[in-house]
Structure 1
Amino acid sequence: MRYLVFSSFVVTSALSGCSLYYESQAKDMVQRQMDAMVFVEGGEFMMGNPGGWDGSKDSWPPHKVVLDDFYIQKYEVTQGDFDLFMAVTGYEPSDSRYEQMRNKAPKRFSDHLPAVASWIDAKAFCHWLRRETEAKTSLPTEAQWEFAARSRGKLTKYATLEGQAIPNKTMAPGPEQFVRDRYPYKGMLPLKPGTFPPNLLGLHDMSGNVSEWVSDKYLEDYYERSPVKNPKGPKEGQKDIFDGDSYRVVRGGNFHDFEGNTTVTRQKGSETLAEDTRGFRCGMN
């Protein structure tokens, strides 16, 4: 097997089951995904809600966490790259409504915008990168995500360069600044990843744009029992009472809620369902 070496990572050139055109495009895309990995030196921080910014119960209490070094992508994965992944692998989205959603809101599925993906889809993409490289790529853990968003755990409310939320300057505006036909969400879209300046680690859009899937199962009171060293979430989490799907943690707020875009915003979502307000980025240990 032949390898391409760059940026200390190794990417395989073997992509099976696709046309030469898609194979060439996929090689370039895999390399671009790996080039976007940012090294984060591990350390100790108070995870949760140390600044008292978020009133939700599930972001409490603040608790000490110690993390090893890891990597996380500087951008959210785009729809164009996710579509190419599906074309190359024949992957089918886990959400049966996916094509209906695309037909109903085609602009939201533009190539340059954050990918619309369920947790299952996001995991599949990151694990595909793992198969095509010699890197241990996956969705970041919730602790890794927050540590990176807060620039190695600094006491900062927003994941921006100076910790401030300024519409159209440091992060995307919310529905209050976008009202159409008296309906605040009608026609609203996230922006191209990287539109605004990054945080101190060079990571873009970790406050706002789209909420991001992390690897952890969701449990409302998990912070009360989280281990200190490299927590990975509960073994058993809460499930959707209607279909039995496991809930997974979603972090970072989204373009429907400007005030909810703090680094400690913590939500849940059924792992098989995609929403236009959710996306993802991959990490690596």
Structure 2
Amino acid sequence: MNIFKSIPLFIIIFVSCQSGAKNKETVNFPDSAAMCYTSAIPSRFSAIQKDSLEKNMIGEDKSEMVMIEGGTFEMGSNSFQDAQPIHKVTINSFYMDAHEVTNAQFEAFVKATGYVTVAERPLDPKDFPGADPSLLVPGSAVFKAPNQVQGLQNHLQWWEYVPDANWRQPEGPNSSIKGRENHPVTQLAYQDAEAYAKWAGKRLPTEAEWEYAAKAGKHQQETYYWGSEKLENGKWLANIYQGEFPTKNSKEDGFENTAPVKSFPPNAYGLYDMEGNVWEWCSDYYRPDFYQNSPKENPKGPADSYDPQEPGAIKRVQRGGSFLCNDNYCERYKAGSRGKGEINSPTNNVGFRCVKDLS
């Protein structure tokens, strides 16, 4: 049985460490959720009016959606190996959620359907021969700021598998989404996001659609999706990590964890938080070499997943970075960069937004 199809990857690491599994060094926590590789010309679409019935709509989940008029753009980045080569891609028009799906929206979905997320489901001891059954409890990974670290190579210094951590209590049993109804929902595996999208009559975006919408008509390569400067009038333009990662978050942007949607300025298309806040699931499987042979029109990603760092894991693309991204450790919130996540490994810095085809 393929354990990657049934359980969070983080529990694999946790149990492997407990049971002394020989292959524990080859199974790592997905870097897009915890870490990253270390390594504006206005368009005619920027004049989209938010009160135009032709350009905006309300989704079946009552979410504001923005019509993204199709076109051709240069996809990728020379700053990241798996985002090369930069190549021209043509995208059809589509609608996109103006902001990430919130806790309140996901709660409405759960109430309507009775859906149970991956992080809430029990684990089968048969998948972990020799493991202590008391360790096999529902839960997910939570960022925990350590007092000190011994280098930045071992990300388990700041990630912890927390029993009963899930979308209702993102940091574990002592946390809650009460008062955070307007924050992006987190602790969702890929199938959880996909289930919501189907219920809402939508789908998850392709990474080409996501990047096209994030660049918002810019035809030049910039450091960030909003431009070349990190700050504007002394203010941060995204919810990312300031200070000394991972021990001291100076919270210069006003937030330690997730921020309510629409806390930062939208891009030229009227989309919020396309950089920072939470990583967003895309529908594409992840392969680092896909751009070498990507279709020129409406690419939907490769037929399967392959990550040479973790050959046995099934991964999908994640985009946009999160509140844990920073220039010293995780730079993949920057324009054109790609993230990746094992499909059954929810964390408290990964969420999603939906898109809808034009009828």
Shorter-normalised TM-score: what interval? 0.7 to 0.9
Max Rg structure: 2
Cα displacement (A) at 1:66: 0.8
Task: Spell out the pairing of 1:62-141 with structure 2 (5 A cutoff).
Answer: 62-95=86-119, 96-97=138-139, 100-101=164-165, 102=169, 103-104=172-173, 106=175, 110-116=180-186, 117-130=188-201, 137-141=202-206
Contact kept, 8 Å, 1:46 with 1:153, in 2: the verdict is no
Aligned residues of 1:172 and 1:191 also touching (Cα < 8 A): yes
Shift of the 62–178 alpha-carbon distance from structure 1 to 2, 3 Å rule, reads closer
Judged with a 3 Å threshold, the aligned counterparts in structure 2 of structure 1 residues 242 and 263 are, in CA distance, closer, same or farther, namely closer
SS in 2 for 1:80: helix
Deviation string 1:214-259 (CA, Å, 9 cap, x unpaired) is 1100011111111101000001112799895520000111111133
Maintained 8 Å contact 2:103/2:184:
yes
**CA distance, structure 2, for counterparts of residue 83 and residue 243 of structure 1:** 35
Q: Which amino acid aligns with 1:252?
A: G
Q: Which residue of 2 aligns with 1:247?
A: 315
- Cα deviation for residue 152 of structure 1 reads 3.1
- Structure 1 residue aligned with 2:325: 257
Distance in 1 of aligned mates of 2:303 and 2:311? 20
Task: Name 1:159's counterpart in structure 2.
Answer: 225
| TM-score, reference length from structure 1 | 0.77
Letter in 2 for 1:97: G
| 1:185 CA drift (Å) | 9.5
> Which structure 2 residues correspond to residues 22-41 of structure 1 after superposition, within 5 A?
30-33=60-63, 36-41=64-69
Q: Distance between the aligned counterparts of 2:190 and 2:61, measured in 1?
A: 23
Aligned to 1:143: 208
Give the Cα separation in 1 of the matches to 2:83 and 2:250.
26
Q: 1:127 Cα deviation (Å)?
A: 0.5
**Which residue of structure 1 lines up, in the alignment, with residue 41 of structure 2?**
none
Cross-structure match for 2:243: 176
Work out the number of aligned pairs and report it: 248
Q: Is the 8 A contact 2:288 2:307 kept in 1?
A: no
Gaps of 5+ in 2: 1-52, 120-137, 141-162
CA distance in 2 between counterparts of 1:108 and 1:223 reads 38
Distance 1:121-1:199 versus aligned 2 partners, 3 A rule: same
Q: CA deviation at 1:172?
A: 2.1
Indicate the residue corresponding to 1:270 in structure 2.
342
Mean Cα deviation higher: 197-206 or 242-251: 242-251
Q: Is the 8 A contact 1:68 1:230 kept in 2?
A: yes
Residue aligning to 1:17: none
Output the CA distance in 2 between the equivalents of 1:94 and 1:142. Answer: 23
1: CA distance between counterparts of 2:176 and 2:242? 18
Distance 1:80 1:210 in 2: 16
3-state DSSP class of the match of 2:200? helix
C-alpha RMSD of the superposition: 3.1
- Mapped to 1, the partners of 2:256 and 2:308 lie a distance apart of 28
Asked if 1:281 corresponds to 2:353, the answer is yes
CA distance in 1, matches of 2:270, 2:73: 19
Q: Distance in 1 between matches of 2:288 and 2:177?
A: 30
Structure 1 residues 70 and 29, CA gap change in structure 2 (3 angstroms): closer
Q: Percent identity?
A: 32
TM-score by length of 2: 0.62
